Amino acid sequence: MSNTLIKNVKIDGISVFYREAGKKDAPTVLLLHGFPTSSFQYRNLIERLAPKYRVIAPDLPGFGFTDVPSELGYKYTFDNLATTIIGFTKALDLNKFAIYIFDYGAPVGLRLALARPEAITAIISQNGNAFEAGLGSFWDQLREYWSDPSLDNREGLKSLLTLDLTKFQYVQGEANPELVPPETYTLDYALLSRPGNADIQLDLFYDYRTNLALYPKFQEYLKQHKPPVLAVWGKNDPIFISQGAEAFKTVLPEAEVHLVDGGHFPLENHLEEIYLKIIQFLSKHSL
């Protein structure tokens, strides 16, 4: 039986859905998901970490079960996603916590770190990029859209919102793709397919360019504040390639890098390997 609680909290009119497990007085780990998924991607990791940590995993606006009333006129940018998550951490009185950043969760989490550097106890980056070196050829079509945000280019990106592409992100790079539960990509696709959600995702695709512009600031934060960093990466990920993991050592030589023989979502097939690395890393830093 799961011990994960399902909760909601209001942040500036947004009902932020989140999963929580573990004791309130335990060290906190904040799990930030990416595209095209939600906190559901962490369902198994939450259960593994909860005996020792307070584990919290919110759904970003535009994803999962977080509800953004249309009358708010919420603009789907990474700055705004981060503002919501910063408010979320304050609403839950999270004063010290480690962040686990993946995909979109990386630019959101690193904006959070810039805003609240004193709160961050450690960073676990699982295919969570902060370097140009980590961007694979997958991004070529998006770069074209950034340079020419025409309607044709925007419409062309709807190919990234299909069931086939959603499933691809889970199975590509996995030696045993048949072990990936179909409810993962099926749920993601169902939530992506809600009325109005395609435009939300296309807006975020365009805004992703702002994350690249912030890479120098993210890297300066790492140099200046020197948080403990573990980059545990699916080395066969075609989206955020493994050079992105190795790049952390260029600004933080003491960063730990561990490559898993998996793809973009290695938690599905490599949970135990990643969990053990996380536990060893956090224990090493007395967290």
- The closest of 203, 243, 226 to 104, measured between CA atoms, is 203
Active site residue 270: no
> CA–CA separation, 93 vs 99, rounded Å?
15
CA distances in angstroms from 51 to 48, 55, 80, 88, 148, listed in the order given: 7, 10, 33, 23, 49
Residue with tokens 């973009």: 264
> CA–CA separation, 53 vs 29, rounded Å?
7
> CA–CA separation, 163 vs 66, rounded Å?
21
> CA–CA separation, 118 vs 189, rounded Å?
37
> CA–CA separation, 88 vs 86, rounded Å?
5
Which pairing describes strands 120-125 and 54-58: parallel, antiparallel, or unpaired?
A: unpaired
φ and ψ of 99, to 5 deg: -115, 135
| Rounded CA Rg of the chain | 18
**Residue of 33, 258, 264, 270 with catalytic role:** 264
158-180 burial, b for 16+ CB within 10 Å, e for fewer?
Answer: eebbeeebbbbbbbbbbeeeeeb
Start-to-end C-alpha separation, the chain: 27
Asked whether the CA dihedral 202, 207, 211, 213 is positive or negative, the reply is: positive
Residues marked as catalytic: 264
